[in-house]
């Protein structure tokens, strides 16, 4: 596990985008796993810039997203379908036929989850999976207590996650209580992991993830077991670390 500490969020975003861009240039038909939330937005803006100004080509790339709220159609402004289109896919030349995002309106959720796993396997697996981290240590929507061998499935969101997501909705009752998410086991099968975090509010989560014991009650800690995991954080997010890391 490589931990890289940058000065601020802007540098974190550029470093993360550079990691992604390097893979796209090296392997134009790579499979990328994308995350949502506030943290990846800077990296996505940088990828858009690299596409427009430096010709970074996404035409052969296949993408899979980590998760989606159950009950929100793709057109809903708070759905992750909408997020990805607005913040990345509408601004680069990725082929819509190669974009895969969990379907929150699936009639047979369990059947869809099995199909999603099969689709990832059919394309040869994910080359690079981007991750954020929740304050309670969740990755994707794998809440505390999730099996470290879990696969894509429906999950009940914790009260902590619901409170954290409240800022994205007008009213608390509008915040979804369920989500479809890749499992921890699915995530760990990606060839590379890239976890990004910024800000002092993530310091406890990063400390536990990097230096704490591996436990299902803090799912992000499993990243320690991945052969090619990179964690890119700013100094505020790194403020709880006791060890010495690149740039810190």
Closest of 189, 183, 177 to residue 148, by C-alpha: 183
Please tell me which residue in 138, 164, 234, 236 is annotated as part of the active site. Answer: 138
Within 10 angstroms of residue 91's Cβ, the number of other Cβ atoms is 16
Calpha distance 24→102 (Å, rounded): 23
Q: Is 91 a catalytic residue?
A: no
Which of 92, 10, 86, 6 has the alpha carbon at shortest distance from 54? 92
Q: What Cα–Cα distance (Å) separates residue 166 from each residue in 20, 124, 162, 169?
A: 30, 36, 6, 6
DSSP state letter for 147 = -
Cβ atoms within 10 Å, residue 170: 9
Which one is catalytic: 15, 19, 46, 67?
67
Distance CA 172, CA 158 (A): 14
Q: Do 82 and 150 meet the contact criterion of CB atoms below 8 Å apart?
A: no
**Catalytic, out of 143, 164, 234, 236:** 143
Catalytic residue among 19, 46, 117, 136: 136
Active site residue 143: yes
Query: Which residues 6+ apart lie within 8 Å of 39 measured at CB?
Result: 132, 196, 197, 198
Gap between the Cα atoms of 239 and 124, Å rounded: 38
> From CA 103, how far away is CA 147, in angstroms rounded?
22
| Two structure tokens written together for 148 | 């470290």
Q: Would you tell me how many other CB atoms lie within 10 Å of the CB of residue 26?
A: 9
As annotated, the active-site residues are: 67, 136, 138, 143
């Amino acid at each position: 596990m490589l931990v890289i500490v940058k000065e601020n969020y802007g540098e974190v975003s550029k470093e993360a985008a550079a990691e992604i861009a390097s893979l796209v240039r090296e392997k134009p038909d790579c499979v990328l796993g994308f995350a949502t939330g506030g943290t990846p937005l800077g990296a996505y803006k940088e990828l858009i810039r690299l596409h427009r100004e430096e010709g970074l080509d996404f035409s052969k790339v296949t993408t899979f997203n980590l998760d989606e709220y159950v009950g929100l159609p793709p057109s809903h402004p708070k759905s992750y379908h909408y997020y990805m289109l607005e913040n990345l896919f509408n601004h680069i030349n990725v082929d819509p036929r190669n974009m895969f995002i969990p379907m929150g309106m699936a009639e047979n959720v369990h059947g869809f989850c099995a199909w999603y796993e099969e689709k990832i396997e059919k394309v040869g697996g994910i080359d690079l999976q981007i991750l954020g981290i929740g304050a309670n240590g969740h990755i994707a929507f794998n809440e505390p207590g999730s099996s470290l061998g879990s696969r894509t499935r429906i999950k009940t969101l914790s009260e902590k996650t619901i409170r954290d997501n409240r800022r994205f909705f007008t009213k608390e009752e509008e915040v979804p209580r369920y989500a479809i998410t890749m499992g921890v086991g699915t995530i760990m099968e990606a060839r590379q992991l890239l976890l990004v975090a910024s800000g002092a509010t993530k310091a406890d989560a990063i400390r536990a993830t990097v230096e704490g014991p591996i436990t299902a009650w803090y799912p992000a800690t499993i990243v320690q077991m991945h052969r090619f995991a990179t964690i890119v954080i700013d100094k505020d997010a790194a403020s709880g670390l006791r060890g010495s890391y690149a740039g810190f």
